[in-house]
Amino acid sequence: MGNLLKRWRGADPAFKAFLLGVFFLGINTGVISNAFNNYLNDTLSLTEKQRGFLEFPRELPGFLLIFMTGLLAALPVRHWAVITSLLTAIGVAGLAFLSPGYNSMLVWMLLWSTGGHLFMTVESVMGLRFAKDGGQGRRLGQISGMTNFAAIAGAGFFWAMAKLAGPDLYRWSFGAAALASLASAFLFARIPGGGGEAAPGGRRFVFRWKYKWYYLLNILFGARKQIFLTFAPWVLVTQYGASPAAMAALGMAAAGLGVVFRQAFGALTDRIGERRMFLADSLILLFICAGFAFAPWRPLLYAIFILDSLMFATRIARTTYLNRIAEEKSHIAPTVSFGVTIDHAVSMAVPAAGGLLWAAYGYRSVFIAASLLAVAGFFAALAVDDGQKNSGPAAPAPLTAD
């Protein structure tokens, strides 16, 4: 503990401000992610049809991210972080106090979701800015681990409020989450300036053939992500009778392990390279697909569910891979945003296709089909340069305000 405090005191003030901002924004995420479905049911009494439709507008900001970041291209990335926090705070406060009906809820949800999706780019780009040469994965893992830790704190706060707040549960919980987002905006705004360049150079859109494997890896991840976010929990609940308490415990376990796992994943990426991490991810995904399709033992499925959640950390390797092959630093932010956009373009279509497959051939067919994604990911990983012969651009300078 003493060594940790010593390292914290000696850390870059800009990085400390950013990491604390990530913590408070992560608390917001922990509250909302654990409360939102109950909020929709208890406050608005949504039908299954309405709940199903809601996923489209909720994910739409991810699909539109490349256009949003294009509008912000002239601004320093730390300003993007402030905007992220303010959008999230306004959206969550609106859900708490200004959502008398479904339509008004949609407006506030879109603002909150826009902030959350914009942070996907902010987290990657700012993490790279704060990293030393050869330590990009480690730095991204630290930031991702902090996000997980904060999400646990947010989930714990909501659990406590559920015991204490009574009928005003969502007002108090969402109001506190909005205040946490405002605190993160204040901290992001305090990141000191300097002489380096933090804006993406006015680049609104970048498409290069050189980045083709990065694009493909994002497409495959978008399909894989949505299959397991949509159908893996549904299998546990409908086929194996997992209770709400069990699902909550699985989420907490995955987040808790993720605090350490994501940091270790990032450090290992720095050590052995992205190609091997992508190959390992593909083989693990093949095991996960086989488990959900054929494993008969519920505790084993629980373990596989947690493993799959942990392997979402592969986004760290995709980011460091892009950083290594980028022709210019100004390409990174718009390319990360484009990656999120194509990820969401795929993930918005996958649930419908998976549902039809399940209805026609049973749930096992969904995961057998998903195993093809693992095979495709394996061959894509083989095509990725291992970074041993070609060095990427010089390490980005520390993030500054200008």
Amino acid at 149: F
Q: At what angle do helices 169-189 and 13-39 cross, to 10 degrees?
A: 160
- Split at pLDDT 50, 70, 90, the class of 401 is very low
- Residue 151: which of 185, 118, 102, 116 has the closest Cα? 116
CATH class of 206-389: mainly alpha
The answer on pLDDT for 4 being more than 70 is no
Q: How far apart are the first and last CA of the chain?
A: 35
Tell me, yes or no, if the two domains 1-202 and 206-389 fold the same way: yes
Give mean pLDDT, residues 199-208: 69
The answer on pLDDT for 212 being more than 50 is yes
Q: What is the pLDDT of residues 350-393, one digit of tens each?
A: 887 888 888 889 889 999 999 999 999 999 999 998 765 444 44
Instruction: Indicate the DSSP class of residue 209.
Output: G
Amino acid at 219: I
Domain ranges of the chain: 1-202, 206-389
Q: How far apart are CA 327 and CA 335, in angstroms?
A: 11
Instruction: Indicate the DSSP class of residue 205.
Output: -
Instruction: Give how far Cα 229 sits from Cα of 4, 16, 222, 373, Å.
Output: 35, 32, 10, 15
CB atoms within 10 A of CB 130: 23
The count of C-alpha atoms lying within 13 angstroms of the C-alpha of 163, restricted to the half-sphere facing its C-beta, is 5
The answer on pLDDT for 152 being more than 60 is yes
Give mean pLDDT, residues 222-248: 83
The count of C-alpha atoms lying within 13 angstroms of the C-alpha of 333, restricted to the half-sphere facing its C-beta, is 32
**Who has greater pLDDT, 225 or 9?**
225
Weakest-pLDDT range from 51-65, 100-114, 214-228, 334-348 = 51-65
Q: How far apart are CA 38 and CA 249, in angstroms?
A: 16
Q: How far apart are CA 41 and CA 28, in angstroms?
A: 20
**Who has greater pLDDT, 9 or 286?**
286
**Who has greater pLDDT, 307 or 3?**
307
Residue 2 has what pLDDT?
60
**Who has greater pLDDT, 196 or 48?**
48
- Residue 325: which of 204, 216, 214 has the closest Cα? 214
Q: Mean pLDDT, the chain, as a whole number? A: 86
The answer on pLDDT for 197 being more than 60 is no
* 304: CB partners within 8 A, 6+ apart: 287, 288, 291, 292, 295
> How far does Cα 11 stand from its chain's mean position?
25
- Split at pLDDT 50, 70, 90, the class of 398 is very low
CATH 3.60.70.12 describes domain 1-202 = no
As a residue count, the chain comes to 402
Q: What is the pLDDT of residues 271-284, one digit of tens each?
A: 999 999 999 999 99
Residue 391 has what pLDDT?
42
